[in-house]
């Protein structure tokens, strides 16, 4: 593994050096939140952030994207597929979200490949950022998806105080180091050791520890359990949890007519919490109740994802918990599953103490 | 990147013929505008396509023709919403978009030598017709054939000419019933499961194929199990809300299976193992 050092003060220069070849997306402070946004210059960047309220998956699977445009002139219909081709760096992506993208990779490349996602993916470079101070809702350490990434990054930064330790994870990462020649310093054993110490402290400081062991198997035994009704009581069907989640991949496809003779087919995020998600012709709805829908969400993350793609569909970012107006908390759900399967009564109807 | 096909692009297909089956069901005979695409359009009975009408979106529709005649293909469509309503207004010469075929399709090689029972309800006969006609075209490869079909009223029966044709074929038995008869109807009245009492179904070396409204399926399965058919030879094709057709959009799952990709055809043993009810 190649390692380098990058002075914090030189980050802006690195962004400048890279912006000829890449669009750079990085955390930007907006009032109370830090959001991932394309930069117009390095100065807007805020690298001392916890995480964005919405996962940066939108840069691979946009909330709203044109699949193709169509027009119907006299001489027949034409379709114009819209596939993006700009190279992009996502700078400052957290380990949880990077792992989320690795899961989306499985979804969009398995069986029949999804060109729109994969084209973007192949042109996306990740400069990830390890977390020295996990947040109160974070539980990535329980899933081994953080606080520092172990795969999937091109470069991985760790905050060592005045500088970042830079770990190079791929040939694309090498390429970036080459473009930023002169900005990077040498690093060696002492810096690697400092990172290991910081990581150990970070691992110690998680407030939230969730026992995921056997949860898939236990949930299968609790499919008909009453706990889902208690959880459903608190769901307002807003779909917010799906929208902030780094691993939700569900989308809708619909047409928008723009004029008499032209329009576009669009795809946009959807959520299994919406009642129309499964409604069929004749009004038949296989998941007609809120209980069935909220159960779908948790089974998708903790059972179906495992069966289809070999890993939990949760990376422990804690966003859904922070977002939910009904205080539905996935960590509490996992813990309750384990208690319920031992026969205990659980109170998933109450707001968790935190 | 390798030259991968964009799975979301519909290809223009021209309507060749339209046959009015009932007041709300029509069979469309189609051919891709691009001849090369048409001659290389291979599909299996039980697979479906996404039908596209620009401005209205898409609807998943089963291929109702047998794959052997590859100059064209057929879709039998019930008018049930915006897109299907518009489709019903189209005439020969009009164009629609098609992508696919999708889904696993019915087992075919595996059922050679077996006796086959079909149980269809309403428009559910459409995907079964594809397999029925494939089997009839290769009659010697299969044992006896029984086709049990039910519709709401006599006016709702689809493929009427073919039902007659099939019943005149050697070793094929066709039984039809309606939920509500009319003054001219002299046939069976009652739901499709009442037909089980009107014939003898042997459980020996038999495969059954079911397609119909969701309420019908569990009752048919129950009766077939009672007759003694093994779970893996009770084969259903299911319907779910679909968008992508290729296992990405997440709309059609039943438990950990995607109906568009892992289905729409499942045998009862597989269905039983799913957490969600089908
Ligand atoms: C694998 C499969 C095979 C099918 N084969 C046939 C067939 O051979 N013949 C036939 O007549 N019908 C078939 N259907 C049903 C057909 O897809 C629906 O009737 C059709 O999508 C209704 O579309 P619409 O635009 O006319 O209705 P809409 O106006 O869109 O809506 C009417 C209702 O249908 C629901 N709906 C919308 N989109 C879909 C969708 N993509 N899938 C399911 N429900 C939807 C809506 O939520 C609404 O409740 C099949 C469905 C599936 C899943
Ligand atoms: S089914 Fe629900 S929980 Fe699963 S990916 Fe789709 S929206 Fe997210
Ligand atoms: S399910 Fe919740 S905690 Fe898990 S990855 Fe999604 S938003 Fe984050
Ligand atoms: S229709 Fe999109 S996953 Fe099945």
- Reported as a single tens digit per residue, the pLDDT across A73-122 is 666 678 888 877 679 999 999 999 999 999 999 999 999 999 999 999 99
A-B Cβ pairs (cutoff 8 Å, strict):
117
Q: What is the pLDDT of residue B1?
A: 41
- Using a CB–CB cutoff of 8 Å, tell me whether B246 touches chain A: yes
Chain B residues touching A287 at Cβ < 8 A: 276
Q: What is the pLDDT of residue A82?
A: 80
CA A39–ligand 4 middle distance (angstroms): 35
pLDDT level of residue A352 (50, 70, 90 thresholds): low
Is residue A270 a contact partner of residue A251, using CB atoms and an 8 Å limit? Answer: yes
The pLDDT value given to residue B40: 92
pLDDT at position A351 over 70:
no
Name the residue of A54, A249, A295 to mutate for ligand 2: max ligand atoms within 8 A of Cβ.
Answer: A249
Determine contact: A224 vs chain B, CB below 8 A.
no
Convert the pLDDT of each residue in B199-213 to its tens digit. Answer: 999 999 999 999 999
Residues within 8 A of B (CB atoms), A 73-132 only: 76-77, 79, 81, 83, 107-108, 110-116, 118-119, 122
- CA–CA gap between residue A217 and residue A41 (Å, rounded): 49
Q: Is the CB of A339 under 6 A from ligand 2?
A: no
Question: Nearest bound ligand to CA B249?
Answer: 4
With 50 as the cut, is the pLDDT of residue B2 above it?
no
- Mean pLDDT value of segment A316-339: 94
Confidence band, pLDDT 50/70/90 cuts, at residue A219: very high
pLDDT of residue A345: 86
CA distance B200 to chain A (A): 33
Which of B8, B69, B75 lies closest to B39 in space, CA to CA?
B69
3-state secondary structure of B153: coil
Helix (H, G, I), strand (E, B) or coil at B17: strand
Task: Count how many Cα atoms sit within 13 Å of the Cα of residue A93 in the half-sphere of its side chain.
Answer: 33
Whole-number pLDDT of residue A347: 82
Alpha-carbon Rg for chain B in angstroms: 18
| pLDDT reading at B13 higher than 80 | yes
Which alpha helices (H) appear in chain B, and where do they start and end? 35-39, 82-89, 125-137, 160-167, 216-227, 268-273
- Its pTM stands at 0.94
- % of chain A residues with pLDDT over 90: 85
Across the interface, of A116, A251, A282, the residue whose CB is closest to B249 is A251
Which residues of chain B lie closer than 8 angstroms to A220, CB-CB?
Answer: 275
- pLDDT, chain A, mean: 93
Residues 278-337 of A with CB under 8 A from B: 278-282, 284, 286-287, 292, 296, 299-300, 303-304, 307-308
For residue B112, the CA-to-ligand 1 centroid distance in Å is 32
Judged by CB atoms within 8 Å, which residues 49-68 of A form the interface with B?
67-68
Is B58 part of the contact surface with chain A (CB cutoff 8 Å)? yes
3-state secondary structure of B52: strand
- d(CA B141, CA A313) in angstroms, rounded, equals 46
Which atom of ligand 4 has the smallest separation from the CA of B252? 4
Which pLDDT belongs to residue A48? 86
Strands across the sheet containing B188-189: B188-189, B172-178, B145-151, B115-121, B206-211, B234-237, B265-267
Write the residue with the smallest CA distance to atom 3 of ligand 4: B247
- What was the pLDDT predicted at B278? 83
Q: Which protein residues touch ligand 4 with a CB less than 6 Å away?
A: B 242-245, 247-252, 258, 260
Mind listing the pLDDT tens digit for each residue in B14-48? 999 999 999 999 999 999 999 999 999 999 999 99
Residues in chain B within 8 Å Cβ distance of A252? 243, 249
Q: How confident is the model at residue A354 (pLDDT cuts 50, 70, 90)?
A: low
The DSSP annotation for A335-354 comes to HHHHHHHTT----TTSPPP-
Q: B-chain residues within 8 Å CB-CB of A292?
A: 276
- % pLDDT > 70, chain B: 99
**Residue to probe by mutation, ligand 1, list B27, B28, B60, most atoms within 8 Å of CB:** B60
Considering only the beta carbons, identify the residue of A223, A265, A277 that sits closest to B251: A277
The CATH number of the structural domain formed by B109-237 is 3.40.50.80
Nearest to B209 by CA among B112, B85, B94, B124: B124
What percent of chain A has pLDDT above 70? 97
Query: Phi-psi region for residue A114, left (φ > 0), alpha (ψ -120 to 50) or beta?
Result: beta
Q: Average of pLDDT values for A146-156?
A: 96
Q: Probe ligand 4: pick from B101, B252, B262, max atoms within 8 Å of CB?
A: B252
Rounded to the nearest angstrom, the distance between the alpha carbon of B242 and the centre of ligand 3 is 25
| Alpha carbon of A252 to ligand 1 centroid (Å) | 14
Domain with CATH 3.40.50.80 in chain B: 109-237
C-alpha A341/C-alpha A117 separation (Å) is: 39
User: What would the pLDDT profile of B45-98 be if each residue is shown by its tens digit?
Assistant: 999 999 999 999 999 999 999 998 779 999 999 999 999 999 999 999 999 999
Position B3 scores a pLDDT of: 53
- Segment A185-211 shows an average pLDDT of 95
State the closest ligand 2 atom to the C-alpha of A273, by its place in the atom list counted from 1: 2
Measured between beta carbons, the chain A residues lying within 8 angstroms of B1 are 118-119, 122
Ligand 1 mean position, distance from CA B4 (Å): 28
Cα-to-centroid distance, A249 and ligand 2 (Å): 6
Contact predicate A118/A168, CB 8 Å: no
* Tens of pLDDT, residues A234-276: 999 999 999 999 999 999 999 999 998 899 999 999 999 999 9
By C-alpha distance, the chain B residue nearest A109 is B248
Which of B57, B261, B277 lies closest to A253 in CB terms?
B57
- Residue A154 C-alpha, separation from nearest chain B C-alpha, in angstroms: 19
Tokens of A5: 């050092």
Ligand 3 surroundings by CB, under 6 angstroms? A 244-247, 301, 314-320, 330
pLDDT of residue A74: 65
Each residue's pLDDT tens digit, B162-180: 999 999 998 999 999 999 9
Homologous superfamily in CATH for domain B11-102: Translation factors (2.40.30.10)
pLDDT given at position A15: 94
Residues of each domain in chain B carrying CATH 2.40.30.10: 11-102
Q: How far is A302 from chain B (nearest CA, A)?
A: 11
């Amino acid at each position: 593994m190649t390692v380098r050092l990058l002075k914090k003060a030189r980050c802006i220069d690195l962004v400048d050096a890279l912006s000829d070849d890449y669009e750079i997306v990085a955390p930007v402070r907006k009032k109370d939140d830090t959001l991932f946004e394309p930069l117009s210059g390095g100065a807007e960047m805020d690298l001392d952030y916890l995480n964005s309220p919405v996962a940066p998956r939108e840069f691979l699977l946009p909330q709203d994207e044109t699949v193709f445009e169509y027009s119907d002139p006299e001489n027949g219909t034409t379709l114009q597929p819209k596939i993006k081709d700009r190279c992009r760096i996502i700078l400052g992506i957290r380990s949880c979200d990077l792992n989320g993208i690795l899961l989306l990779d499985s979804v969009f490349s398995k069986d029949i490949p999804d060109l729109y996602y994969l084209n973007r993916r192949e042109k996306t470079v990740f400069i990830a950022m390890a977390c020295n101070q996990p947040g109160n809702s974070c539980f990535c350490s329980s899933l081994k998806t953080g606080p520092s990434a172990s795969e999937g990054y091109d470069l991985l930064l760790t905050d060592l105080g005045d500088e970042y330790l830079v770990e190079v994870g791929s040939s694309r990462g090498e390429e970036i180091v080459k473009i930023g020649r002169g900005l990077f310093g040498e690093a060696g054993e002492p810096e690697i050791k400092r990172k290991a110490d910081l990581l150990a402290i970070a691992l110690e400081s998680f407030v939230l520890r969730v026992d995921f062991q056997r949860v898939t198997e236990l949930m299968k035994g609790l499919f008909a359990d009453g706990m889902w009704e208690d959880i459903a009581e608190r769901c307002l069907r807003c779909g917010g949890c799906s929208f902030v989640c780094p691993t939700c991949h569900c989308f809708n496809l619909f047409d928008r007519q723009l004029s008499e003779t032209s329009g576009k087919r669009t795809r946009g995020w959807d959520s299994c919490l919406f009642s129309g998600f499964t409604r069929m012709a004749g009004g038949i709805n296989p998941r007609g109740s809120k209980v069935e829908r909220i159960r779908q969400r948790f089974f998708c993350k903790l059972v179906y994802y495992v069966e289809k793609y070999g890993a939990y569909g949760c990376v422990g970012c804690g966003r859904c918990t922070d977002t939910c107006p009904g205080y539905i908390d996935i960590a509490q759900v996992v813990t309750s599953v384990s208690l319920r399967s031992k026969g205990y009564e659980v109170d998933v109807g109450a707001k968790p103490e935190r | 990147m390798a030259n991968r096909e964009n799975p979301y692009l519909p290809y223009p297909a021209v309507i060749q013929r339209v046959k009015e089956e009932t007041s709300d069901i029509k069979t469309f005979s189609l051919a891709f505008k691009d001849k090369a695409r048409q001659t290389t359009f291979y599909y299996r009975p039980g697979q479906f396509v996404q039908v596209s009408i620009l401005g209205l979106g898409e609807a998943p529709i089963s291929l109702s023709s047998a794959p052997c005649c590859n100059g064209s293909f057929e879709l039998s469509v019930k008018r049930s919403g915006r897109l299907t309503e518009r489709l019903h207004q189209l005439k020969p010469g009009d164009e629609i978009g098609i992508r696919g075929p999708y889904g696993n399709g019915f087992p075919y090689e595996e059922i050679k030598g077996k006796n086959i029972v079909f149980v269809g309800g309403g428009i559910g006969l459409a995907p079964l017709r594809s397999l029925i006609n494939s089997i009839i075209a290769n009659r010697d490869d299969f044992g006896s054939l029984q086709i049990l079909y039910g519709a709401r009223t006599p006016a709702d029966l689809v493929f009427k000419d073919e039902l007659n044709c099939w019943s005149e074929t050697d070793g094929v038995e066709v039984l039809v019933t309606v939920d509500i008869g009319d003054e001219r109807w002299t046939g069976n009245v009652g739901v499709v499961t009442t037909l089980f009492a009107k014939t003898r179904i042997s459980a020996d070396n038999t495969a059954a194929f079911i397609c119909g409204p969701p309420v019908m399926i569990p009752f048919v399965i129950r009766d077939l199990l009672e007759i003694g058919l093994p779970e893996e030879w009770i084969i259903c094709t299911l319907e779910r809300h679909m968008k992508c057709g290729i296992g990405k959009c997440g709309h059609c799952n039943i438990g950990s299976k995607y109906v568009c990709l892992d289905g729409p055809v499942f045998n009862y043993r597989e269905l039983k193992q799913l957490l969600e009810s089908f």
